[in-house]
Amino acid sequence: MSRAVLAWVLERLDRGDRVALASIVDASGSVPGKPGARMALTDKGQRKGTVGGAGLELKVEKQLNEMILGNSTTNKVEKYVLHRDAKGNEGNVLNSVCGGTVTVSLEVLEPMPHILIAGGGHCGKALAEVCENLGWSHSVYDIRYEYSNEELYPNSLENHYGDLDEFLKSLNDGGVFRFSDVLLLGHDWSIDQELLIGILKIRGESRRPRIGAIGSRSKWSVFRKAAIDEGISEENIDSVRCPIGINIGAESPEEIAIAVSAEIMMFEKNLT
């Protein structure tokens, strides 16, 4: 069961979910859960595993929910005393006659950034290299095969190329949410605009994935008007960043990649 829970946790993290994980690290006496038992919850309400059931499980599940819904980043270790006559200074007292104690590690696991690089040119290549150095995942889309293939991007999780409508269809049914960020770096502004509108429609009012576009403010004004004309709400379109990246005077593709990745890191660490 422990291995199944951990595999499930990794799968959910890869899909972009935040996961709260409880792991029994110590137990004594007659208790429902043994060391190694695990239970996990996602911020979308999904659940896997058990720490033994009964009142212990209800208490642990409540604490995990409080941590993940409260956006807590503080992990902790809790001791539970399964005896109704125990004193509070011994730990979390549960109304039980089991008589044992259980120590549980409670932690919130954050998904690592997974960047969709939409446009595999010079800036895209430089950004992929920064992602690799930071341990972030990246995938690439370009309408041109020569700018999105395994030879050019050997460490990308996914390489997509070809028809834009087909690519957008592949992002339906929740597929877009595996990305933490979509960065529009294409060689053709009209493709970037169409991709932007398509992803905004799929994403809806959610704020994941974050979306950013390279370009000038005048280019953005064209994009914004086109999105509004397509029925995108102003609140939704205004969540998009253009131009992307922290303002460090970046000019070269490598400098732009540093500025963009620093901005993403700022969002990930909730420094905004």
Task: Say what percent of the chain tops pLDDT 90.
Answer: 67
pLDDT of residue 268: 87
56 near 14, Cβ under 8 Å?
no
Half-sphere exposure of 175 (CA within 13 A, CB side): 12
Q: Classify residue 13 as exposed, middle or buried by CB count within 10 Å of its CB (0-12, 13-18, 19+).
A: middle
Portions of the chain given CATH number 3.40.50.720: 114-268
Q: Tell me how far apart the alpha carbons of residues 268 and 272 are, in angstroms, rounded to a whole number.
A: 9
Looking at residue 161, what is its pLDDT?
96
Alpha helix segments (H runs only) across the chain: 2-14, 54-69, 122-134, 164-170, 189-203, 217-229, 234-237, 253-268
Tokens of 256: 């732009």
Is pTM beyond 0.85 here? no
CATH class as words, domain 114-268 = alpha beta
**Neighbouring-strand partners of residue 27:** 102
Q: What is the pLDDT along the chain (272 residues), one digit of tens a residue?
A: 688 999 999 999 988 889 999 999 998 877 777 889 999 999 888 999 998 877 888 888 999 999 998 876 678 998 888 766 555 555 577 766 566 888 999 999 988 999 999 999 999 999 999 999 999 999 999 999 999 999 999 999 999 999 999 999 999 988 899 999 999 999 999 999 999 999 999 998 888 899 999 988 899 999 999 999 999 999 999 999 999 999 999 999 999 999 999 999 999 887 54
